[in-house]
Structure 1
């Protein structure tokens, strides 16, 4: 990694913490400078200002890592539980998404550049609907939205309880089990569920 890339990475790491904690309006360039060990003028030279710096953080931390948990339409329940673990390991992720929704894009699509990725997810859902694995009385886009929202039940935007690494292991296992069972019951066809049940 070049010196320029190292400097950019240090600024982005510090800015990720700052924006995740304080949002766009509440973030302060002087705190990012102190945390990164860089001067404010250098940050402005690299990124041009706070708004553009947030965009760079969002692109780097959210957009570029969109496939950190590979999507599997044939295993929606497993995918939801893996998302739970991803949100648990990276608390900044959902906070950045939340701040962008609150301060930038109150409605509409939130992830410019991922349109084709999401379109591919929908095609995979359609394929599973056609093989009677996923319910076909729901629109593919609604299956996707319900899946993501359910997986984020205990993530940083939760209105009930936010999961943390300090929670007892039993709590995490209970939530993963509940996620898997709920997604399966809500989105998977009864025919498919019966085929997965062991014979007695």
Structure 2
């Protein structure tokens, strides 16, 4: 049987994703990842170098999927926030990975910094504001898009068990809030 290194690498990334979402970087075990991927532990080190580098690769891959699903549009921040929100609700593992990253490795990677700076620069150019203001606005947009979680899903009218309606209402309120905040913050003097 011919060895397929691309398939092994893909299986390792998928198994690592599940492990990291479930227990974070510190709780993850390379032997569990390797077993779930039908690979050996040495393959993790050969492809990624370390468990930490594997975590970074998993997070980068998931963030790229998120960027593809919710492309950044500096001219429509409420629409971008809504698309991010939808993507995060559809794949809560991305939010969970990001939370593990903030808890366990608070320093942003070069890729994370580059992605944010690129978006902030595009927003600054589009809106005619400085880079600091654009960065602050983006942080508000990201925070709003991350607003749906298990707690938010339970804060609703106790007589109403329709969680899908609650999700729709929350999303609409979040998009309106982003529109109001970004309009105010990007307002030219």
| Distance apart, 1:101 and its partner CA | 1.4
| Distance apart, 1:74 and its partner CA | 1.4
Which residue is 1:93 aligned to? 94
| Distance apart, 1:66 and its partner CA | 5.5
Which residue is 2:50 aligned to? 49
Which residue is 1:147 aligned to? 141
Which residue is 2:30 aligned to? 29
**1:11–1:112 CA distance, 2 compared to 1 (3 A):** same
CA RMSD of aligned residues (A): 2.8
TM-score with structure 1 setting the length? 0.75
TM-score with structure 2 setting the length? 0.79
What's the CA shift string for 1:55-74, capped at 9, x where partnerless? Answer: 22223223x44622111121
**1:92–1:37 CA distance, 2 compared to 1 (3 A):** same
Paired with 1:41 and 1:189, the residues of 2 have a C-alpha distance of: 53
What's the CA shift string for 1:123-149, capped at 9, x where partnerless? Answer: 33224433xxxx98x811111111111
| Distance apart, 1:78 and its partner CA | 1.1
Which residues of structure 1 form unaligned runs of 5+? 193-200
Paired with 2:118 and 2:29, the residues of 1 have a C-alpha distance of: 38
Which residue is 2:67 aligned to? 67
What's the CA shift string for 1:12-54, capped at 9, x where partnerless? Answer: 1000110111011111122212321223333344333322322
SS in 2 for 1:161: helix
**1:125–1:44 CA distance, 2 compared to 1 (3 A):** closer
Paired with 1:181 and 1:88, the residues of 2 have a C-alpha distance of: 18
| Distance apart, 1:116 and its partner CA | 4.2
Which residues of structure 2 form unaligned runs of 5+? 155-161
Which residue is 1:113 aligned to? 111
Paired with 1:181 and 1:72, the residues of 2 have a C-alpha distance of: 17
Q: Across the two proteins, how many residue pairs are aligned to each other?
A: 175
Paired with 1:114 and 1:30, the residues of 2 have a C-alpha distance of: 28
Paired with 2:172 and 2:92, the residues of 1 have a C-alpha distance of: 21
